């Protein structure tokens, strides 16, 4: 049985973080951020039936980010607008509305069906983590699976 969670479900996930989670290998903005993101990713990987609310805005991963202030992404002056715009593009690509509730499995199935590596290159080309190749490798790993489980 899964240990008692500290996370509240449905878990609020900003849509572009569905892609970031695919590439998570323990890197991030500081140790608090990494520890929080690891908890979220590990819990979802342990049970993909867990429910998410997909949003275009700050989420449970942003919650421990040093760049989140006043409920916004203030990493750079244009980060809030760019992050929300990316969330909306990904929601549209997946065929979901902001605020849609789905299981993590269903969200991953949509990612697997509808997002290609070329799309990710377009979405992510100006992200500082893109050059590592972890995220596109995570997407390709997902596509190679028979089901959506990570």
Kindly indicate which of the ranges 3-11, 62-70, 98-106, 107-115 contains the residues binding ligand SF4, using the contact rule CB under 6 A. 62-70
52 versus 146: smaller Cβ distance to ligand SF4: 52
Contact (CB, 8 A) for 123 and 19: yes
Q: CA 93 to CA 146: how far, in whole Å? A: 21
Q: Nearest approach, Cβ of 142 to ligand SF4 (angstroms)?
A: 12
Asked if residue 150 binds ligand SF4 (CB under 6 A), the reply is no
Asked if residue 68 binds ligand SF4 (CB under 6 A), the reply is yes
Kindly indicate which of the ranges 39-47, 66-74, 99-107, 141-149 contains the residues binding ligand SF4, using the contact rule CB under 6 A. 66-74
What is the residue whose two structure tokens read 């509730």? 101
Asked if residue 45 binds ligand SF4 (CB under 6 A), the reply is no
Asked if residue 67 binds ligand SF4 (CB under 6 A), the reply is yes
**Which residues sit at the interface with ligand SF4, rule CB under 6 A?**
16, 19-20, 23, 58, 61-62, 65, 67-68, 73, 75, 79, 83, 124, 127, 129-130, 135
């Amino acid at each position: 049985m899964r240990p008692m969670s500290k996370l509240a479900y449905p878990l609020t996930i900003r849509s572009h973080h569905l892609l970031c989670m695919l590439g998570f290998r323990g890197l991030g903005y500081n140790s608090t951020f990494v520890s929080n993101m690891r908890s979220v990713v590990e819990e979802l990987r342990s049970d993909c039936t867990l429910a998410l609310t997909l949003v275009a805005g700050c989420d449970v991963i942003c919650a421990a980010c040093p760049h989140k202030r006043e409920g916004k992404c203030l990493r750079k002056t244009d980060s809030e607008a760019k992050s929300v715009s990316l969330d909306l593009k990904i929601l549209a690509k997946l065929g979901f509305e902001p605020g849609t509730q789905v299981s993590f499995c269903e969200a991953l199935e949509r990612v697997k069906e509808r997002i290609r590596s070329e799309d990710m290159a377009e979405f992510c080309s100006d992200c500082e983590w893109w050059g590592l190749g972890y995220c596109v490798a995570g997407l390709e790993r997902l596509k190679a699976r028979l089901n959506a489980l990570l």
